[in-house]
Amino acid sequence: MCRFIIACGRFDSVAVLDAVLGMSTGVTALDNIPTRVHPNGWGAVWRTAEGTRAADRDHRSLAESREHAGLDALGTAMLAVHVRHATLPDRIDPRFTHPLERLDDSGPWYFMHNGFLPTVYQSLGLSASAFDSAEYFDYLLPRGEEQLDIDRTLARLRAMPPGGTSGNAVLLYPRQGYVVHWTAPRSAYQDYFTLRRLRLPEDQIIASEPIPALAGGHRWETLPSATVIELPFTPQHERSFHRAA
């Protein structure tokens, strides 16, 4: 189980990082949720001044290592940060720290996931699961593709074998990004897996939970499940797609 945030536009990087730190330590956690603290590593992706992507990861908690990350001084139009609570104890290792990365001819894809999907490997024809988030990455975005097919993504979310919790994810590529919001209909703790969005005149933020320090709770929009948001990193061009689960 994890938490993530993605900010696009003219935002305060320090405030966004403070928000993630609060999510990782349980300061902003909702009531009656399964996991309050997310200490098993963190990772970030941001857009550079040249329009490319850069990333960093640390297997330590954000509370332990934020001062060494150098992210507070970032001047960027896009920042995504993921903090992790490993569902399985044998998955606490730098190899499992998000973002996951895939190199393609025209640039890298980065992937962040919040949830546990122990059956998605079956849809890839594998005999067993090695790391559910990596398998979910391959399931949503087959290797070699340069954009997320929205209709196919929504269909694949509906077709996943039962047994998982959430498929909330961020996928980032040099030219655009996507936020996938999906929770298994019968999954417990639906509120824990509900993404919220804050829209301001010059920026927008999507987060795993509302962050009071960024804006009052009434200003955070609850995203419907089975939603894919395409982010070309210019908020006025954002497109959103939704189908009934």
pLDDT band per the 50, 70, 90 thresholds, residue 189: confident
Of the chain, the percentage scoring pLDDT greater than 70 comes to: 92
Closest by Cα among 146, 145, 149, 124 to 135:
124
pLDDT value of residue 245: 42
Q: Side chain identity at 226, as an amino acid letter?
A: A
Beta strands in the chain, from DSSP E residues, in sequence order: 2-9, 42-47, 53-58, 78-84, 100-104, 107-114, 168-172, 177-181, 196-199, 203-207, 220-222, 227-231, 239-242
pLDDT band per the 50, 70, 90 thresholds, residue 157: very high
Task: State the DSSP H helix or E strand holding residue 134, giving kind and residue range, or none if neither.
Answer: helix 132-140
pLDDT value of residue 6: 96
Cβ atoms of residues 147 and 166 within 8 Å: no
Higher pLDDT, 212 or 74: 212
User: What is the value of pTM for the model shown?
Assistant: 0.91
What is the average per-residue pLDDT within 56-60? 89
pLDDT surpassing 70 at residue 230: yes
Among all chains, which residue has been given the structure tokens 């536009």?
Answer: 9
* Domain segments of the chain as ranges: 2-242
* The Cα angle at residue 114 between residues 109 and 117, in degrees rounded to 5: 95
φ, ψ for residue 166, nearest 5 deg: -135, 145
Bond prior to 99 in cis (omega within 30° of 0): yes
Higher pLDDT, 206 or 245: 206
pLDDT value of residue 205: 96
* Domain at 2-242: CATH code: 3.60.20.10
**Residues whose CB falls within 8 Å of the CB of residue 69, separated by 6 or more in sequence, listed in order:** 44, 56, 58
Cβ atoms of residues 212 and 29 within 8 Å: no
**Residues whose CB falls within 8 Å of the CB of residue 103, separated by 6 or more in sequence, listed in order:** none
Closest by Cα among 60, 100, 80 to 16:
80
Q: Count CA within 13 A, CB hemisphere, residue 2.
A: 31
What is the average per-residue pLDDT within 183-207? 91
pLDDT value of residue 47: 85
**Residues whose CB falls within 8 Å of the CB of residue 216, separated by 6 or more in sequence, listed in order:** none
